[in-house]
Amino acid sequence: MADVARLAGVSAQTVSRTLSGHPNVREHTRAKVLAAVEELGYRKNDAARMLSSGRSRTLGIVVFETMFYSRSAVTVGVEHAAHRAGYSVSAVTVSSLDSTAIQDAMTRLSEHNVEGIILALPLVQVNKGIEDLTRTIPTVCTDGSRTPSTHVVTVDQTMAARLATEHLLSLGHETVWHVSGPESWLEVGGRTKGWREALEEQGRFVPPALQGDWSPASGYQNGLIVGRIPDVTAVFVASDEMAFGVIRALHELGKRVPEDVSVVGVDDIPLAEYCSPSLTTVAQPFESIGERAVERLIAAIENPSSAAQTETIEPSLIVRSSTSAPA
């Protein structure tokens, strides 16, 4: 930067102002500086800027290490929104959901001087370290879970389950079976609740819920179970990936979808539309979640005194061909 200043015949300070869009710089000077920057191939040094200004303009995101669509989608939304707002994002993945792993990830992020953190995973257990961190650094969680000081941007999971269940009931099914995710995930509770409520409101039998772990394989295992139970005509599966597994199992058992059994998933992954049959599912607006999370986070950074808030986004049912009236 000193070199640039020398070449442009100005002070380092003026170069700094020019580069950060500061007002009081004459057009002529600015042009000279820019020319010098160009000629010298100068690149600003974020580390120095951060050290000096105390601001990093960086957001951190903690993602659970899975190959699932939802994680990528949220991340894409986060990066877009952050970039638009002039922030960069640094991500760390955790391979476990226990509190020490998450605390560790958050600590690493805080050492990178992030100004805020997005937790793109369920806060299954919270320890003191995490609570302290969330008090120090603005944090938003994209799952229903939270500490007292985290903001939340999430999808209304209860509604998602109601949409799916009511759709199946309205088609004429007597009741709806359910393959849920791991119960430690908070969103799973919401889905199970919505499913149960929808059934109870119409006075239907509430079957025991089966449980998977989000993997297609676990969907397959559970499909092998429900497929063997007589009278099962409708299944609400808590994720599209598991729904694929369920459908596969049903096929193997000689049941056709949707003629014999209707299946509804959750997520609306890109392949949902292109499997056979195409999957009726409840779409979660992952990218919007990421974007809203960033907006809320930046608001919290700029106004640290604001109280923790919860924002809920509504999911929407997408009817395709894995559901129909029972035979």
Partner DNA sequence: CCGCCAGGGGCGCTGAGGATA
Partner DNA sequence: GTATCCTCAGCGCCCCTGGCG
Residues 6+ apart with CB under 8 A from 61: 75, 78, 89, 90, 91, 92, 117, 118, 119, 120
H-helix or E-strand spanning residue 282 = strand 280-283
Q: Which of a second copy, DNA, none does 271 bind, CB closer than 5 to 8 A by kind?
A: a second copy
Check: CB of residue 56 under 8 Å from CB of residue 115. yes
| Structure tokens, 48 | 């120095």
Interface residue with DNA among 24, 95, 303, 305 (CB under 7 A) is 24
Of 35, 38, 44, 125, the one binding DNA (CB under 7 A) is 44
- Decide: is 35 part of the binding site for a second copy (CB under 8 A): no
For 232-260, letters b (16+ CB in 10 Å) and e give bbbbbbbbbbbbbbbbbbbeeeebebbeb
Residue 209 is given by DSSP the state P
Count of Cβ atoms closer than 10 Å to residue 66 Cβ? 15
Beta bridge partners of residue 264, listed in sequence order = 236, 280
Residue 46 in contact with a second copy, rule: CB under 8 A: yes
The residue within the footprint of DNA, chosen from 35, 38, 52, 172 (CB under 7 A), is: 52
Pick from DNA, a second copy, none: which does 278 bind, CB < 5 to 8 A by kind? a second copy
Closest CB to a second copy among residues 69, 177: 69
- Residue 194 binding: pick among a second copy, DNA, none (C-beta 5-8 Å cut-off by kind): none
By the criterion CB under 8 A, which residues form the site for a second copy? 41, 43-48, 50-51, 56, 65, 67, 69, 71-73, 76, 79-80, 83, 88-93, 107-108, 110-113, 132, 215-217, 219-220, 241, 244-245, 247-248, 251, 270-271, 273-276, 278
By the criterion CB under 7 A, which residues form the site for DNA? 1-2, 5, 9-14, 16, 19-20, 23-26, 28-29, 42, 44-45, 48-49, 51-54
